[in-house]
Structure 1
Amino acid sequence: MDSMGSMIPFLDQPVMLHSSRDPGECTLTPEQCAYKSQYWVNWYQADHRYALPTVAFFLTAIVIFAISHVVSAIAPQSVKKSVFWSRSVSFLRFLSYKSWRIAGWNTQSLGMFLLGGAGLVFFLAMTLGPLPYYWPNTKEVSYGGSPPIATRTGFMALACMPFLIILGAKANPITALTGISHEKLNIWHNWVAWAMFVLALIHTFPFIIVHVKEGDLVMTWNTGGVWVTGVVALIAQAWLTFMSIPWIRNRYYEFFKSTHFFMAMVFIIFFFLHCDFRMSSWDYFIATAVLYTLSWLYSQCRTYFEHGFKHKARLAAETENTLRITIDTTMEWGPGQHVFLRFLTCGVHAFTAHPFTICSVPQKGKKNQLVFFVKRRGGVTGHLMSLALKNPDSQVPVLLDGPYGGIPEGRLVDFEKNLIIGGGAGAGLTLSMVEDFVQLNHLRPKDEMKVIVATRDPGMRFWYIQTLEEIAARHSKHDVIPRLSIQIHETFAEQAGRDPGAEDLKLEDGSRVSKVHSKECSQLTTEMFGVHFFSGRPDLPAIMHQMANQEGTSLGVVVCGPSSMHYDVCETASAEQSRIMAKKPGSARELWLHTENFSY
């Protein structure tokens, strides 16, 4: 280790795993020595005082969610039917669903704010609670060169690192323990990144203040490698944090994706050098490396060994804005799950994988097909659409990573009524839900499913009905499917006027519905699946309230669409939880909501 360390700049010599905790003999007065070695300011125990409690805080939150996940899975039906269970679950769901919409942007849920608030209180208390913030150094007396507030925030930031990295992994132990899919943990990856960045800033500026006061800032910079490594790590961290702001990330996603891992490597390397094996600091890098490597290897083994290199993606342009991707596979998956696809003929995009929600379900005893309906955007989707337009039914090699997320197995079967909502590219998700309902219809003789689709694409109705025809053919369906209805709301009609190929009918609530009389859309299929076409946006709160406004009923809701749609559904779901807790007349027994973030 010593010979290797001599070849690495910025590291103290000899290089060890842990630095010594021996403070040596104190030459100050007994009172000053006692002041310097207080519990909260003893530099040689700072990692134990601040880093370990930070780890304990994160682990406590994970354990609480893991216990909740296990209890929910193993609790007997007699307990789940009790009033206490119903109200407790409704209260937790209210916290999970309640959010606000500000200037076209959805906030996180009330529950997430409360948990984030607990983290804020913890870090504020640990940062600002202990005194002093700076050593009362004089020309005659020196307690140390590291301001106490800088020391404590540095070790707390270090302790955040393993959780920050793992929360950003697709396959990770937190998901395995809590049942929370990786895409829903991503917001915590973002929030922990901000906490770590703020702690890093609070760690940095006290050193600047001290050395400016002493007048040796430039000299310290020129002679101290610890400053160079710290500043480089901080710049890389700032890049990672600010580029992850949602509106920046979404607008420049391809650029964000291509630079994120590189800057993360720069940050980790220089942060590692900056810590310079002080006390147990390198233990956190070891823990991070082990956890992330296992997570990464798991997903890579699934990609290359379980799925392999054999898959080809067939591309077909359904409309100007919608691309159909079909992949023959032996993979098994569930409704609502998504897969990361890496297209090997897309230039620089071949180095990145993109998540797409699966719009089909596996067929028992038959050949499976992964089907994706993709909205044309820039980057990889634009490139794929260009290939499909130039060469219809072209095939490109693709690597699969997944499936991930989705609706917990058998969850929708638990409810007497299901409401599936898809908006824009999220319309494809509803098809997998419809096929799953058709496939299991004989096992659910009393269940009902209503599907609401909203689209601005005039051509969407054609490929949607065509896919329903394929579903009917796969399952040998020729008669009307009972207890299933599909409403397709075409919002482009608000500007373009009524569709010339449709006959308008007036419903009891005053809305307009049209029955299609075009060659592309089979009348038989629309009747079989109970399909009706509406002009204008659906009134989702009214539809949800109507389905839930039956005493004793249970309702499962799945939504995938734009943020405004998510907000309307979540707000209505939270309001219904309040009705359930209050046991208001006509309120449902249970309402469960699943929001799907991926669709493309």
Structure 2
Amino acid sequence: MGMIPWLTEPVMLHSDRNPGACTMTPEQCAYKSAYWRNWYQADHRFSLPTVAFFMVAIGIFTIAHILTLVFPKSFQKNPVWSRLVAFSRFLSYKSWRIAGWNTNSLGALLLGGAGLVYFLSMTLGPKPYYWPNTKEISYGNSPPIATRTGFMALACMPFLVVLAAKANPITALTGISHEKLNIWHNWVAWAMFVLALIHTFPFIVFHVWKGDIRAQWNDGGVWVTGVVALIAQAWLTFMSIPWIRNRYYEFFKSTHLFMALVFVIFFFFHCDFRMSSWDYFIATAVIYTLCWLYAQCKTFFEHGIRNKARLVAQSNDTLRISIETTMEWDPEQHIFLRFLTCGAHALTAHPFTICSVPQPGRKNTLVFYVKTRGGLTGRLMAMARKNPDVQIPVLMDGPYGGIPAGKLDEFDKSLIIGGGAGAGLTLSMVEDFTRFSNPQEEKSQLNVIVATRDPGMSAWYTRALEDIAKRQGRDSLIPGISIHIHETFTGRTGLETESKEVEVESEIKTQSVESKECKPLTTEIFGIQFFAGRPDLRALTRQVASQDGVSVGVVVCGPSSMTHDVKYAASEVQSHILARKAGTARALWLHTENFSY
């Protein structure tokens, strides 16, 4: 043990690859140094192919993204191209709901299956798993199966870390926003953890057989650093299981970065500059630092540190957050907010979907409609109730994700669906449609479906629509738009198939006197209809895509059951496009938004 704890001295960037003279028989030496068994080339045999596997997957999606950008719009109506796109979308949308849980898409499962085949093949394919050591002959102290899994786990690390960054090169290359890459961050974490376990236990088996397991542990070094790193890795992996993460999100958020730091530090010492192992730490540090610096520059230099968030309780369950800003954004983008007066919450940023659109040439207002829960949102709601219209300092990082500018303009029909907190998101889509629609003609259609359990939602939602009409100078029916509000709270049971005119006194008892006078006009402008009970989203999605030759854009933000129903119907439409079934749209594109909060 040298002066630097847990590191062999002299410390170098790479260890020596010279195995020295082999003292065994020529046959035994050839066996030990074979392609898949040579310890001194293990990083080249197992780490580099793992990097190549990830790079090929990224490359495929990068090429697909570039093709969608460079192909002219006219070519996208080509039947062959339409069917190819429909097939890829079918893989992206097709999923199953099992015991209240949504599976990942068929395409994601297939890609994950390819990864599973790769790692199983590289782990279990080469032989042997253990050296044929005897008490007289030793081929080495590192079981081959432990060696290869260790180097494959090491190669996963740069991709694991980059997939967790909000601004990252994978998003820039593939066009896949960071929140949709999170599933791959999670899956790569599991792959790395399982590889680490397979790396660990053969050493225990070997040293138990050898009879020096206690001496190895007492010696410290790789055993201590490896165990600490494995414990930190287990914490990170299991705490990221969705139902645990969602239930204890605040605790998860506050401990995740700390445990990640513990893992990286002890993993670094555990590798002890063997071959090219530290190169992967250098690559990870450089890429993640650039991603982190980019996000910090957006926060402090682009948005500044003097922003104030105004909090208003819209109903018992909904909080309105508004921030005056000069920034611009696209519909459905989200932004990370860090509230500086919320105790420990000031250390972490939380994602919120933007529910407003920027006004060109003016000072803009970011608006968020938040469904309050425990933790941060509960504390913010308490502040809003205690001091109405309170303003608190906030830092902003973003915007990220969202729908590319002008994307929905490509479609003949658009269907926007919001459930729960996702209802606020539909407002930005409505305003975006309103400001560009021509009162003299109806070139496209926007159908909005909102479902809510909050009895007070209809009131604040209608007031928000009234504000949109005033900002856009609309006082008559907007052609092509319809908004259906489905109230699913207790006391409103059974789906009503016919719309009804809304009487303020009976339908929205919490609405103000001013809103009561304006609501009939707002109802007429936006074509608002009210229903009781849950909407049949599968039927509604099929209906909007039931016209030959039209193109349809669908956006959904809401509970997992709502998202699944829409994705199910969207995948069904793709299969109809592939089969050239009559009465089916030419194309259907679906965007799901995760950050409604």
| Band the TM-score falls in, shorter-chain normalisation | over 0.9
Could you tell me how far 1:8 is from its partner in structure 2? Answer: 2.3
Identity value in percent: 71
Q: Residue 376 of structure 1 aligns with which residue? A: 372
The answer to which of 412-421 and 438-447 deviates more is 438-447
Q: Residue 19 of structure 1 aligns with which residue? A: 15
Could you tell me how far 1:174 is from its partner in structure 2? Answer: 0.3
Once residues 272 and 399 of structure 2 are traced to their aligned partners in structure 1, the CA distance between those partners, rounded to angstroms, is 40
Task: Report the residue type matching 1:496 in the other structure.
Answer: G
Could you tell me how far 1:511 is from its partner in structure 2? Answer: 4.5
2:499 and 2:529 in contact (8 A); partners too: no
Once residues 224 and 136 of structure 1 are traced to their aligned partners in structure 2, the CA distance between those partners, rounded to angstroms, is 26
Q: Residue 482 of structure 1 aligns with which residue? A: 479
Once residues 78 and 571 of structure 1 are traced to their aligned partners in structure 2, the CA distance between those partners, rounded to angstroms, is 28
Q: Residue 532 of structure 1 aligns with which residue? A: 529
Q: Residue 491 of structure 2 aligns with which residue? A: 496
Q: Residue 75 of structure 2 aligns with which residue? A: 79
- Per the alignment, in what secondary structure is the counterpart of residue 502 of structure 2? strand
Q: Residue 419 of structure 2 aligns with which residue? A: 423
Q: Residue 266 of structure 2 aligns with which residue? A: 270
1:514 and 1:534 in contact (8 A); partners too: no
Once residues 216 and 472 of structure 1 are traced to their aligned partners in structure 2, the CA distance between those partners, rounded to angstroms, is 78
Task: Report the residue type matching 1:230 in the other structure.
Answer: G
Query: What's the CA shift string for 1:321-357, capped at 9, x where partnerless?
Result: 1100010000110100000000000000000000000
The answer to which of 77-86 and 8-17 deviates more is 77-86
The 5 A counterparts of 1:362-441 are: 362-441=358-437
Pick the aligned partner of 1:323 from 298, 319, 329.
319
Unaligned runs of 5+ in 2: 506-512
Q: Does 1:57 align with 2:57?
A: no
Pick the aligned partner of 1:554 from 547, 551, 556.
551
Once residues 369 and 74 of structure 2 are traced to their aligned partners in structure 1, the CA distance between those partners, rounded to angstroms, is 42
Q: Residue 503 of structure 2 aligns with which residue? A: 516
What CA RMSD, in Å, does the superposition of the two structures yield over aligned residues?
A: 1.4
Q: Residue 592 of structure 1 aligns with which residue? A: 589
- Per the alignment, in what secondary structure is the counterpart of residue 591 of structure 1? strand
Could you tell me how far 1:514 is from its partner in structure 2? Answer: 4.5
Q: Residue 501 of structure 1 aligns with which residue? A: none
Once residues 521 and 361 of structure 2 are traced to their aligned partners in structure 1, the CA distance between those partners, rounded to angstroms, is 27
1:423 and 1:561 in contact (8 A); partners too: yes
Q: Residue 214 of structure 1 aligns with which residue? A: 210
Could you tell me how far 1:365 is from its partner in structure 2? Answer: 1.9
Could you tell me how far 1:78 is from its partner in structure 2? Answer: 3.5
- Per the alignment, in what secondary structure is the counterpart of residue 130 of structure 2? coil
The 5 A counterparts of 1:138-157 are: 138-157=134-153
2:62 and 2:174 in contact (8 A); partners too: yes
Once residues 249 and 511 of structure 1 are traced to their aligned partners in structure 2, the CA distance between those partners, rounded to angstroms, is 41
- Per the alignment, in what secondary structure is the counterpart of residue 373 of structure 1? strand
Once residues 522 and 580 of structure 2 are traced to their aligned partners in structure 1, the CA distance between those partners, rounded to angstroms, is 41
Could you tell me how far 1:293 is from its partner in structure 2? Answer: 0.2
The answer to which of 137-146 and 290-299 deviates more is 137-146
Could you tell me how far 1:139 is from its partner in structure 2? Answer: 1.6
Query: What's the CA shift string for 1:177-203, capped at 9, x where partnerless?
Result: 000000000000000000000000000
2:492 and 2:533 in contact (8 A); partners too: no
Pick the aligned partner of 1:468 from 465, 470, 494.
465
2:422 and 2:596 in contact (8 A); partners too: yes
Once residues 341 and 220 of structure 2 are traced to their aligned partners in structure 1, the CA distance between those partners, rounded to angstroms, is 47
Q: Residue 101 of structure 1 aligns with which residue? A: 97
Once residues 306 and 78 of structure 1 are traced to their aligned partners in structure 2, the CA distance between those partners, rounded to angstroms, is 38
Could you tell me how far 1:401 is from its partner in structure 2? Answer: 0.2
Once residues 18 and 549 of structure 1 are traced to their aligned partners in structure 2, the CA distance between those partners, rounded to angstroms, is 63
Query: What's the CA shift string for 1:236-273, capped at 9, x where partnerless?
Result: 00000000000000000000000000000000000000
Once residues 501 and 202 of structure 2 are traced to their aligned partners in structure 1, the CA distance between those partners, rounded to angstroms, is 68
Once residues 194 and 362 of structure 1 are traced to their aligned partners in structure 2, the CA distance between those partners, rounded to angstroms, is 40
Once residues 578 and 162 of structure 2 are traced to their aligned partners in structure 1, the CA distance between those partners, rounded to angstroms, is 36
1:512 and 1:535 in contact (8 A); partners too: no
Q: Residue 44 of structure 1 aligns with which residue? A: 40
Q: Residue 286 of structure 1 aligns with which residue? A: 282
- Per the alignment, in what secondary structure is the counterpart of residue 550 of structure 1? coil
Once residues 4 and 258 of structure 2 are traced to their aligned partners in structure 1, the CA distance between those partners, rounded to angstroms, is 20
Residues 316 and 106 from structure 1, CA distance in 2 versus in 1: closer, same or farther, beyond 3 angstroms?
same
Once residues 485 and 512 of structure 1 are traced to their aligned partners in structure 2, the CA distance between those partners, rounded to angstroms, is 12
Task: Report the residue type matching 2:291 in the other structure.
Answer: S
Once residues 213 and 138 of structure 2 are traced to their aligned partners in structure 1, the CA distance between those partners, rounded to angstroms, is 18
Could you tell me how far 1:516 is from its partner in structure 2? Answer: 3.0
Once residues 489 and 119 of structure 1 are traced to their aligned partners in structure 2, the CA distance between those partners, rounded to angstroms, is 42
The answer to which of 27-36 and 510-519 deviates more is 510-519
Query: What's the CA shift string for 1:461-516, capped at 9, x where partnerless?
Result: 11101111111111111111111000000001xx3148xxxxx9x97xx4454423
Once residues 500 and 8 of structure 2 are traced to their aligned partners in structure 1, the CA distance between those partners, rounded to angstroms, is 76
2:330 and 2:405 in contact (8 A); partners too: yes
Could you tell me how far 1:7 is from its partner in structure 2? Answer: 4.1
Task: Report the residue type matching 1:54 in the other structure.
Answer: T
Pick the aligned partner of 1:442 from 427, 434, 438.
438
Query: What's the CA shift string for 1:562-581, capped at 9, x where partnerless?
Result: 00000000000000000000
Q: Residue 157 of structure 2 aligns with which residue? A: 161
Q: Does 1:296 align with 2:292?
A: yes
The 5 A counterparts of 1:240-255 are: 240-255=236-251
Once residues 348 and 236 of structure 2 are traced to their aligned partners in structure 1, the CA distance between those partners, rounded to angstroms, is 17
The 5 A counterparts of 1:83-232 are: 83-232=79-228
Task: Report the residue type matching 2:25 in the other structure.
Answer: T
Once residues 100 and 472 of structure 1 are traced to their aligned partners in structure 2, the CA distance between those partners, rounded to angstroms, is 40
Once residues 45 and 492 of structure 2 are traced to their aligned partners in structure 1, the CA distance between those partners, rounded to angstroms, is 67
Q: Residue 577 of structure 2 aligns with which residue? A: 580
Once residues 29 and 3 of structure 2 are traced to their aligned partners in structure 1, the CA distance between those partners, rounded to angstroms, is 38
Once residues 357 and 4 of structure 2 are traced to their aligned partners in structure 1, the CA distance between those partners, rounded to angstroms, is 53
Once residues 309 and 9 of structure 1 are traced to their aligned partners in structure 2, the CA distance between those partners, rounded to angstroms, is 41
Query: What's the CA shift string for 1:424-470, capped at 9, x where partnerless?
Result: 00000000000000011139841100000000000001110111111
Could you tell me how far 1:80 is from its partner in structure 2? Answer: 1.2
1:339 and 1:401 in contact (8 A); partners too: yes
Once residues 218 and 287 of structure 2 are traced to their aligned partners in structure 1, the CA distance between those partners, rounded to angstroms, is 36
> What's the TM-score, normalizing by structure 1?
0.96
Once residues 503 and 400 of structure 2 are traced to their aligned partners in structure 1, the CA distance between those partners, rounded to angstroms, is 37
2:414 and 2:446 in contact (8 A); partners too: yes
- Per the alignment, in what secondary structure is the counterpart of residue 209 of structure 2? helix
Pick the aligned partner of 2:561 from 564, 585, 594.
564
Task: Report the residue type matching 1:578 in the other structure.
Answer: S
Could you tell me how far 1:6 is from its partner in structure 2? Answer: 4.8
Q: Which runs of 4+ in 1 moved over 2 A?
A: 5-8, 442-445, 510-514, 516-521
Aligned residues: 586
Task: Report the residue type matching 2:130 in the other structure.
Answer: Y
> What's the TM-score, normalizing by structure 2?
0.97
- Per the alignment, in what secondary structure is the counterpart of residue 153 of structure 2? helix
Once residues 516 and 7 of structure 1 are traced to their aligned partners in structure 2, the CA distance between those partners, rounded to angstroms, is 80
Once residues 341 and 555 of structure 1 are traced to their aligned partners in structure 2, the CA distance between those partners, rounded to angstroms, is 33
